[in-house]
Structure 1
Amino acid sequence: MKLDTAPAIDVTVRVNGADLEEHDDTEHNEEYLKGVKYVECVPETDFAVHLYVRKPQLGGCNKDQIRCDVYLDGEFAIARLPNPYSTPAASSEWDFGAVESTINGRCIKQNFAFARLRTDDGPSKDLKPIDFKQQGEIKVKCTLVRTGKLSKMVTHDVASFKRAGDEVLPEKCLKGRSISNQVALGKAQPLATLPVFVHVDYPYGKQPFATYVFKYRSRRDLQIEGIIPRSPSPVPLEDRAPEDLSPEEARELVRRLRTRDSGRAKIKDENLRIKKEKRNHATLIEDDDDDNDVTITEEIRGRKRTRNSRDSAIEIIDLSGD
């Protein structure tokens, strides 16, 4: 990412030595001295903040250094002091991707890493959404400083930064944002040298001259938030031209058609069987009705006529006719 107000510096997020692709934040109102981009992250991968400086465009004087403060998910993580004037080269670059500390007199470092964020629909309890406003963000602040004396670091300089654990974050704290990842610290690795503190002065004030914000999201999160388009649905094999099919796709299409035709044949046979059973049932009902019809017998005029009822125990006498 490059800002018009800070043309001497490029700041990016790198994974395995390659810059993550950046996407514009369409809803963010660009602020002076600040830039915001989305980047795609993958869980269980280490990352680093990469700084590239063009010395002729930096300004200031050769006594100046750049203080880079890195914040992860809203928490301060590290501060580094790259010196662009330490070499005669016109440009310099650095990677900042680990927390350095001392534990029981042992020097270690822990790499920055993306990790999965677990959420649920439970109550937020004493957690406030404003405390998670910067969840899913990597922020880098750049300030011009001048260095003073050095001192050995004997305590953890980022004690406030917590390693991502197995705790579950209530979904309400995200306020509708699609965030499924967080930043964690990797396994401790030994360091050969003891980290040091550097005391600095601020000849131009403590206000950063540039701030870079990277909103890291999974590919699915970027699609849900409308930052990148959703993957188009594949065209069904049945709708594609035969000459465009690979041998494997052609065999799969034949298998599907055979399965479909076999299913249709079974359905047709079943329909024929049902129709035949209905016809046989209708014939049986018709024959049964013929045996139960009411019969009327008529004798010579003037005599009583009788009708046989369906109920053989009742005789109906017809007195009409005379």
Structure 2
Amino acid sequence: MAINDALPGIEIVITVDGEPLEEYIESASKQEPNTITRYVEAKSDQIFAIRITVAKGTPMKGDCLVFAIYVDGKLSDGSYVGSEEVLSQSTTVIVAGRCLSSTTLQRFIFSSLELATDDKMFYDEIALPEDLGAIEITVSEHDLLEECDHFEEEDASSGVGIVSEKALKGCAISHSVAFEAPTAMAEQMCTKTEPVDGNAQPVAKMVFKYRSRESLRAEMIIPRTPSPPPLEEKEELSQEEVRELQRQMRDLRAFKQV
């Protein structure tokens, strides 16, 4: 659970079944200013959510902190926490997917990346190596304006779709974020905000790069599984290993007699 020094009262995690995913750090990478990058393991067809917690007494220059959520380089959804909400207690919001309307939700889900092996390049693939495989949450300081008269409705989305191997340029990316079929949810309110002093620049950013366990090993984010030591070097052997060692010795003696 990473905490950004720029806003130490904020914690953001990726959750599955309500539990945060284990986070990994790429020690050799350079961090951008006010940015924290973590890796998490993605499993195919796994529904996930983003949990944002703002601690009691977290200072804000404006009325609220706005959290914009980008998946695979595209703005997906967002939320905000007001300064009055954290005066006496911490506040947690869960972003489970993209809202199509005030009462309709498409949940986030990890999907195995479907690759095309020919040399065709698909639409809008130039930016894929940088943006694909990442969930980015930006934090900005805003003032509240008014509630919206209506909720801007969105079209349903299925995710990235097929990607060419050529576009990935050797990146060890295994998954993309897809969206489940639309489902009903409790009605959500829409509120207009504006950046404090007109400064739309985020004050902090959290990036989660999601990969399969195999891809995490390929990128040396987690150590590769070491090869087991030879049987003759092990201090203790199971019965099956004893039989295997005896078989190897018989084969060796037979080879020497030839």
Is this a same-fold pair by TM over 0.5?
A: yes
| Equivalent pair of 2:122/2:164 in contact (CA under 8 Å) | no
The alpha-carbon deviation at position 77 of structure 1 amounts to 0.3
| Secondary structure of the corresponding residue to residue 158 of structure 2 | coil
Question: Which deviates more, 79-88 or 255-264?
Answer: 255-264
Q: Which runs of 5+ in 2 are unaligned?
A: none
- Considering Cα pairs closer than 8 Å and 6+ residues apart, tell me whether 1 or 2 has the greater RCO: 2
Shift of 1:154: 4.9
Residue identity over aligned pairs, in percent, reads 26
Does residue 82 of structure 1 match 2:77?
A: no
- 2:241 corresponds to: 253
Matched residue count: 255
CA distance in 1 between partners of 2:228 and 2:196 (Å): 59
Tell whether the 8 Å contact from 1:152 to 1:196 is kept in structure 2 after alignment. Answer: no
TM-aligned CA deviation for residue 126 of structure 1: 5.0
Normalization by structure 2: what TM-score? Answer: 0.85
Range that drifts further, 198-207 or 225-234: 198-207
Given that 2:142 and 2:195 are in contact with CA atoms closer than 8 Å, whether structure 1 keeps it comes out as yes
Give the aligned residue type for 2:16. Answer: V
Tell me the equivalent position of 1:151: 148
Structure 1-normalised TM-score?
A: 0.69
Partner of 1:224: 218
Q: Secondary structure at the match of 1:253?
A: helix
Aligned match of 2:119: 123
Kindly name which structure, 1 or 2, has the bigger radius of gyration based on alpha carbons. Answer: 1
Name the amino acid aligned to 1:52. T
* CA apart distance, 1:4: 1.7
RMSD over equivalenced CA pairs, Å: 2.8
**Cα distance between partner residues in 2 of 1:38 and 1:110:** 24
| Distance in 2 separating the partners of 1:39 and 1:172 | 25
Kept in 2: contact 1:53–1:84 (CA 8 A): no
Q: 1:27 to 1:256 in 2, by over 3 A?
A: closer
**Cα gap change, 1:110 to 1:253, in 2 (>3 Å):** same
Deviation, structure 1 residue 180: 0.7
The 1:232/1:153 distance shift into structure 2, 3 A limit, reads farther
Greater helix percent: which structure? 1
Change in CA separation of 1:94 and 1:253 when aligned onto 2, cut-off 3 Å = same
Aligned residue number for residue 158 of structure 2:
163
1:271-310 to structure 2, matched below 5 A, reads: none
Contact 1:28 1:36 in 2 (8 A): no
Q: Does structure 2 retain, via aligned residues, the 8 Å contact 1:45–1:113?
A: yes
Which one of 134, 137, 141 corresponds to residue 137 of structure 1?
A: 134
User: Which AA in structure 2 matches 1:124?
Assistant: K
